[in-house]
Amino acid sequence: MSGKTSADNDALLRQHGLQVTAQRLAVLRSVSGRPHSTADEIDKIVRAEIGAISRQAVYDALGILTDKGLIRRIQPARSPARYENRVGDNHHHLICRTCSRMVDVDCAIGETPCLTAADDSGYEIDEAEVVYWGRCPECVAATSVSSGDSQAKSL
Ligand SMILES: [Zn+2]
Ligand SMILES: [Zn+2]
């Protein structure tokens, strides 16, 4: 969805004061290609793509890219962290309790009203993490199909 070329990713790394390495480029590419992937999933994609890279190197690259703000780390309750390259717009997420699929959802009203806390206790707020939990359409459909099948054949 980002439509970013590898040259853009090169420039992005440099803009953030990072040395351009094959590892960082590969990690950045897989996060943009498969947003909301876990570190394990990214590790698999990167390894399939460039081969010789240690798991630690992938984790290190994820860490530094997150620290520098090129990618965003989402840490839903009771599940592994996910990474995405859509940063800086304070969007939120929908997560399916059944299959763990995560999708983006724009800020509820648009103007990041979620950053306007009812009582900010004097904090300078710059981010709100909102996660909507539920079931995705596929999982809802799958349940209604199997429950509609009342004459279930037991083997
Ligand atoms: Zn689901
Ligand atoms: Zn997202």
Ligand found nearest the CA of 97: 1
* CA–CA distance, 29 with 26 (Å, rounded to integer): 5
- Distance from Cα 64 to the centre of ligand 1, integer Å: 31
pTM: 0.79
- Distance from Cα 104 to the centre of ligand 2, integer Å: 4
* CA–CA distance, 98 with 11 (Å, rounded to integer): 39
Looking at residue 113, what DSSP letter applies? G
Residue identified by tokens 């990474």 is: 83
* CA–CA distance, 20 with 35 (Å, rounded to integer): 21
Ligand found nearest the CA of 141: 1
CA 12 → CA 45, 58, 155, distances in Å? 21, 18, 56
Ligand found nearest the CA of 90: 2
**pLDDT, one tens digit for every residue, the chain (155 residues):** 445 566 789 999 999 999 999 999 999 999 999 999 999 999 999 999 988 889 999 999 999 999 999 999 999 888 899 999 999 888 899 999 999 999 999 876 656 667 777 788 888 887 778 889 999 999 999 988 665 444 444 44
